[in-house]
Every structure is written in structure tokens, then in C-alpha cells.
Amino acid sequence: MSSRFKIQWVIDQANTGKLIKEFLKEQEISKRALTDIKFQGGSILVHDREENVRFKLREGDILKLIFPQEIPSKGVKGENLPLEIVFEDDYLLVVNKPTGMNTIPSREHPSGSLAHALIGYYERAGTEATSHIVTRLDRNTSGLVLIAKHRHIHHLFSKMQQSGGVKRTYEAFVEGNICDSIGTIEQPIGRKDDSIIEREVREDGQYACTHFKVVEKLESFTHVELQLETGRTHQIRVHMSFIGHPLLGDDLYGGDISLIKRQALHCKQVRFLHPIKKKEVSFSAEMPGDMRKVLQG
């Protein structure tokens, strides 16, 4: 059975006397969302009675916003693929993506992506949702991906990302031994002139900032932990290659593939303020088997 996406508030004394439209603006409900609710089949309810945005709220009122049905993209069909769900509630999902799975479809891999798996999962659960992926990972990068269950939640996460409110921690194995125990790489990244895939550090690129910390130095490589201030395509891979320590397995950027056949990069943690519950939450995913095997020698 379908369950329409909704958000509910109990009005406190501080919000008494406000018009619904004023209150919803403070809750970061966009004008587009309100237009969709008005014209595409949503509802604004106070104590389960339909009201308009000029209704004046009182303490104790239960204000409920019911959003119109979302229609999944016709180009992405649901597929019955395994999903390792780390966390789920009415508003978001955190999924541990395996290596070898695209986050979204590509020309080379038009099926089998996380987006296909999500839509299939929603269809089986009777959830009215389409694919809203907040944080993406490269096909051969493993780890946590944050997903919004509705366009409005995606909108809130997008604003959060712009202000640095979604924190991701990665771990990687890089060639050689890094001298400094901690460091920051601030180098602009842009597309390489002769490639549609490869990126490089270049003066006319976009600002990019990567922080790293050495976890352990091994015989031929270094285990590092990384955090990003920006989210440029291939940012960690480009920056580590630029300083002479490409990721193990990353042959696109000069990495040795003798120990592992994909870039040794894993998103191990994601932290953010829950967009509705307004509580700080954090989720973790263990290092995958192929990387553990390299670490154990």
C-alpha cells in the first residue's frame, strides 16, 4: 500500500500567531514545493482539516504537510538488487555501496546501479519515492551513500552540503610513505583536455580542498584517513596523485594494481544534522574485504 510523503509539526508558543506560509518558510519549505502541493495533489492540514497558507496558527495545532506523489524517472526502472541498508527512516536512507556498482546509470553501465536498486526497493515496499542520491561515489569506490526519500529532503541536504553540513570520512591506501602525519591539499581541479573522464590539477579548475591523516605506514604503502571540504569529481584520487602518492589500484591516476584491482578508497563514515529531527547523527561502515586483505598482507 502506498504511503504519501508527509511532515508534521506541533505548534509551540513561539510560533503562535504566525501564518502557515510564514511558518513553512522558516521550515525551508520552498515556493516550488508549496506550488506542487497546491496544484499537484498535496494537502495542508491543521488537525486533519484542509487549510490555506493564510491560516493563523495557534499553540497546540498539529500542522501536517502532505506532498504530491513523486513519479520515478521513466529512464530508470526498478531492479531487484541487494541493498545493504545501514539506516532508514521516513526521510532518508544510508546505504553501504559495494565496489563495482554505479551510483547512477551511465552509458557504459545502463543498468545495475544504486538508483535502479533504490527504485526497486521502493516499489516492493510501496513507498512513493524516486531516486534522490545526495552523496555519490565512483563505481569502484565502496562505502556509505546518503539518500533522500523525497525531493524536499534532497533540497534540505543540498543546502546543508553548500554550508559544509554533510561530513564524510574516507579511508584509502596510497603508494609510498607520506612524511607528514597530517596535511591539507588545496589545489584546483578541472577536466583534462583530452579526456571526458580524467581530471587533473590545473590553474583554471574549481577550488578543491582535501585533508588527510596518516593512520599507519606499511612497507610499500600508507593507510590514510581523509575528509573533504569540497566535492569535486575524483577529488581524493587527483589530489593524492598530485602529491606523489596515488591510490593503490587506481591505474587511471598512476596507482599500482599489483595488490588490489580497484582504487583502494572507502567512505567509512557520514555525519550530518538530521534535516527534520534536528539531531546530529553519524553512521559507519567497516572496511570491505578486498581492502582488509591488502592490510593483512
Positions marked active-site: 138
CB atoms within 10 A of CB 80: 11
The DSSP output letter for 71 is P
* Non-local CB neighbours of 114 within 8 Å, separated by 6+ positions: 95, 97, 101, 102, 103, 104, 133, 145
Place of cell 535502479: 116
Q: Are 172 and 234 in contact (CB under 8 A)?
A: no
Which residues make beta-bridge pairs with 93?
A: 88, 147
Q: Are 39 and 91 in contact (CB under 8 A)?
A: no
* Non-local CB neighbours of 256 within 8 Å, separated by 6+ positions: 175, 246, 248, 249
